[in-house]
Amino acid sequence: MASWYNKTNEEVLNELETSLETGITNEEVVSRVEKYGKNELEEKAKRSFLSRILDQFKDPMIIILLAASVVSIFVNEVTDALIIIAIVVINAVLSLQQEGKAEQAIASLKRMSSPNARVVRNGGIEEIPSTDLVPGDIVLLETGDIIPGDMRLLESTNLKIDEASLTGESVPVEKHAEVVYDGKMEIGDRKNMAYSSTIISYGRGIGVIVDTGHNTEIGKIATSLQTLEDEETPLQKKLAGLSKSLGIIVLAVCALVFGIGLLYKHELLSMFMTSVSLAVAAIPEGLPAIVTIVLSLGMGRMAEKNAIVKKLLAVETLGTTTVICSDKTGTLTQNEMTVVKAYVSGREVDVTGTGYEPTGEFIIDGNPVDASEINGIELLMDIATLTNDAKLEKSQEGTYNMFGDPTEGALLTFSGKNGIVKSELELKFPRAAEIPFDSARKMMTTFHNDYGGQDVVSFTKGAPDIVIDRCSYIMIDGEVGEFTPELKAKVLEENKALARGALRVLAYAFRSYHSLPDDLDFENIEKEMIFVGLTGMIDPARPEVKQAIQECKDAGIIPIMITGDYLDTAFAIGKDLGMADDESQAIMGRELNDMSEEEIREIVKTKRIFARVSPENKMQIVTALKQNGHITAMTGDGVNDAPAIKKADIGIAMGITGTDVAKDTAEVILTDDNFATIVHAVEEGRVIYANIKKFVSFLLSCNIGEVLIVLVAIIMNIPVPFSPIQLLWLNLVTDSFPALALGMEKGEEDIMDNPPRDVDEKILDKKTLSTIIIQSIAITIGTLAAYLYGLKHFGDNIAGAQTMAFATLILAELLRSYSVRSDKYTLAHIGVFSNTMLVKATLLSFTLMILVMYVPFLQELFGLISLEPISWAVVAVCSLAPLLMGEISKVIKAKKA
C-alpha cells in the first residue's frame, strides 16, 4: 500500500473522504472517533508501590538471609532473626529511596501535544482541542503552531518546520505541499508531510490529518517505549550469580558439618545449631546493604559532576561501557548555528566564536584582523542583518537568546562580532519594502533608504548558485566591476569548497535605485545585482567534546555518531572530533532498511557515523551492538532518541536541551549537556566496580575464614570458637564499616588507561579468588592459633578462648582492610592514612569491639570476658598474619611482572 507522501492531494482527500473547502461533519467526527480513538497517547499502567517493594526481595542473597532468619526463629535465636530482618528492610528502603523511578515517558509525550488546533469542519473554521482531531480533519497552520497530528500538507507558503526533536535535523526543514514521491522516503526527507509535536518556525500552510494518537510517528515511539522491557544490568547479573553460588556453598558446607558432627556423635540439636551458625558465618549479611550504599554514594559524586543517575545499578553499568552512541545535534554540537567562514573581495575569512554570544574575531591566513581591514565585510554583515527576521536578545543573566530561524540568528551573531546591532541598524535604515523569502526562488530582498549615499538600495540574500546567476557585477576591495564568467567560476568553486566542508552557504548582493520601484516583482528586482560575498555556517562541535572523545578512545570505548542530519554534515563534524577518519566509516540510515540482522551486526563493527537515521534505524544499531557483545550507552536529547535510549544498556539524556521524553526514559541525565561529562561518569563507574570487587573480596575472605575456623574446630573435635550472635556481630558490625569505607576508595591513577573489562568477567575472577583463598587461610591460621592458646590458657573457661578468637578475628579483618585497598600497590605506595574514611571506620569497629568485651551487660549477652595484657599480646601477633601475607604477595607479584 502506498504511503501518504506517495499520493497526490486529490488522492489523499478522496481516500479520507474529506474536502479542503468544507472539511468533515460532526456526524463523521463521531464515527471516526469510534474507529480511530482520541488523538492522545494512553499511559501504560505504572508499577504499584507494593510491586516495587516486592522487587527488592527477589535477590537470591536476600532470600537466603530471610531463610536464615526463619531458621533462627525456629531454634529460638530470635535476636539473630530480628537483626537479619532489620538488615533486609534497611536495604530495601535504601534502594527504593535512591531509585524512585517512575515511568513518565508516555506522560511527557502527552504534554508535548498541541493544546488546540484550527480546523475546517461543517464548512467553517473552528478551534478545537487537539485531542478531538480525527483523520480527515483539515488543519490551518501558522508560524509558532505545534503540529497536532501527522498530516499530509495540502498547501504551503514559505513553510519551515523544526523537526529536531523527531529526526535530529538541526535546521528547520522546508516543506512543499505540491511534491509527490514515487518510492520510499525516510521521515526526514518527506517534504510534503508534517508530524505531530514538531513546530512551525516559518510560514503557513494547510494540511489534512492522516494519523492520530498511537498511529502517529511520535505515537509509534510511545508504543516502542511501552513494549521495551527493562533488562538486568551487568552488576545485577553478577551479584545474582554470586548469591546463587553462595547459597549452594552454604547448603553444602552446612550438610558437611552436620554429617561430621554426627560421625563424632555430637548431639543432634547441638549440631543443627552449629550448622545454623555456619550458615550465618558463610553469608555476608551486610553485602546487599553495602552495595546499595556504595552505589548511592557514587550517585552523589556523579551528581556533583553534572550527571544525575536515576537508577541505582546504572552507576556501575557506566563503568562497563564499551560503545557510546551519541546523537549529533545538541549533544556533540551546540545546537546553535554559527557562521564560521566568510568570503569577500576574493578572500576567505575564518570567523571565530560559537553559539549566539556575539563575540569572536576574523582571521585571514592564520592572523587575526580587524573588520575594518577586510574590504566588503561590513557591507556583507549589514546585508545579513537587514535581510533578517530573527531577533537576538540579551537576558538579565547576560546570556543571549535567539528568536526566529536559526540560520538568521547565526547571521545576527556574526554581525554582532563587529558591534552591529539589528535594532540600531534598522533605526538608521528602516525596511521600506520587501520581497519575502520564497522556497521556489530561494531568495529574500529588502529595500532601505539613504544607505551608503544611495537614495534606495535593495539587499538580497539567498542560495549561492541562484544569487550568483542573477548578479552582473561584483564588489572587490570597495570597487564595483563586471562579474565575468571567470570570476563567477571562482566564486562558485569557493561555494563548492565551503559546501564540501558541510557548511550551509548563503550569498549576498545589492542594487541601487533613485526611488523605490513601483513594481516589486522579483523578476525585475533580483537581477543585474552587485555580488558582495558568501557566508558559511554550521552547528559547531562543542569545544570540550574533542578531548572527551579522545579520552573515550584511550579508555577503549568506541564513540559512534547516530544522527538525523545529512551525511556530509555528520561526517564533517565526526572527522573534526576524531570519531571517523575516512568517508567509508559513514553510512546512510536507509541503507540499513533492507539489511538482515546479521548484515547490520557486521556493519556496526566498522561504521562510526550513521546519518539520516530513523528511530527504527537507531534501534537496529543499538540492538546489533548489543548482539555483538558490547555494553552500549546511548546519548540523546530528542523524542526520536527515546526508544534507543531505553533499549541501550545505559541511556543518557541531555538535561538542558533534552525533551522530557528523553529524560524520563534515560537512566542518566547530564545537567550540563556536556558529552565530556559522560567520560567522568564512566570513570566513576569503573572506580565503583573496582571498589565493589575490593569489599566483596574483603567480606568473603572474612566469611570464608570464619567457616574454615568453625569447620577445622569441628574436625579437630574441639568446642566451636563462635556463637551465632558473635558471628552476626562480626559480619554486620565489624566487617560492614571497613567494607563501606573501601567502597569510597579513590580510583587508581591508571583506571582510564585500560580497556573496559570483559562483559562476562565475574566479580570473583581467578585473581580475586586466589587472593580470597590466601587471605582466608591466613585468617584461619591466626585465629585458630589464638583460640588454641586460649583453650590452654583459660582451661575450662571456654568464654576466655572464644574471646581471644573473637578479638583476633576482628583485628585481623580490620588490618586486612588496609591491604585490600589495592591488589598491586603496597601500603607504602598508596599511604596508610590516604583513605581517611577507612581509618575512621576501623577505629569505630575497634571501639565497638572494646565496648562489647568490657561493658558488663554486652559482655554477658555475647558470652565474652575481659582479656589481660598477655592475652592481648597473643591476639596482636596472630592478627597480623593476613596483612603481612597480603603485602608480601603484592611484592612477589610485582617482581614476577
Report the amino acid identity of residue 489: A
What Cα–Cα distance (Å) separates residue 485 from each residue in 127, 269, 468, 792?
Answer: 55, 107, 11, 111
Considering the candidates 80, 137, 211, 327, report the single residue annotated as catalytic: 327
Q: Rounded to whole angstroms, how far apart are CA atoms 671 and 217?
A: 28
Q: Rounded to whole angstroms, how far apart are CA atoms 576 and 561?
A: 12
Contact between 625 and 95 under an 8 Å Cβ cutoff? The reply is: no
Q: Rounded to whole angstroms, how far apart are CA atoms 554 and 548?
A: 10
- How many helices and strands in the chain, by DSSP H and E? 34, 28
Residue 697 neighbours by CB under 8 Å, 6+ apart: 768, 771, 772, 775, 820
For 165-225, the DSSP string reads HHH--SSPEE--TT---SS---GGG-TTEE-TT-EEEEEEEEEEEEE-GGGSHHHHHHHHH
SS3 454: coil
Q: Rounded to whole angstroms, how far apart are CA atoms 293 and 610?
A: 39
Contact between 318 and 633 under an 8 Å Cβ cutoff? The reply is: yes
What Cα–Cα distance (Å) separates residue 556 from each residue in 61, 320, 682, 749?
Answer: 33, 11, 12, 16
Q: Rounded to whole angstroms, how far apart are CA atoms 235 and 37?
A: 43
Contact between 335 and 673 under an 8 Å Cβ cutoff? The reply is: no
Contact between 790 and 800 under an 8 Å Cβ cutoff? The reply is: yes
What's the length of the chain? Answer: 897
Find the helix or strand (DSSP H, E) in which 431 lies: strand 431-438
Q: Rounded to whole angstroms, how far apart are CA atoms 571 and 580?
A: 7
Neighbours of 611 (CB within 10 A): 26
Neighbours of 222 (CB within 10 A): 25
Q: How would you classify the pairing of strands 193-194 and 307-309?
A: unpaired
Q: Rounded to whole angstroms, how far apart are CA atoms 182 and 289?
A: 61
Q: Rounded to whole angstroms, how far apart are CA atoms 513 and 472?
A: 16
Contact between 106 and 43 under an 8 Å Cβ cutoff? The reply is: yes
582 is catalytic: no
Contact between 638 and 281 under an 8 Å Cβ cutoff? The reply is: no
Q: Rounded to whole angstroms, how far apart are CA atoms 507 and 149?
A: 36
Q: Rounded to whole angstroms, how far apart are CA atoms 670 and 662?
A: 11
* Beta strand segments in 69-174, E: 116-121, 124-129, 138-141, 150-162, 173-174
Q: Specify burial of residue 61 (Cβ count, 10 A radius: 0-12, 13-18, 19+).
A: buried
Residue 419 neighbours by CB under 8 Å, 6+ apart: none
Going by C-alpha positions, the residue among 786, 703, 694, 710 that lies closest to residue 742 is: 694
Q: Rounded to whole angstroms, how far apart are CA atoms 426 and 447?
A: 11
How is residue 330 annotated by DSSP?
I
Torsion of CA 622, 623, 624, 625, to 10 degrees: 50
The catalytic site residues sit at 327
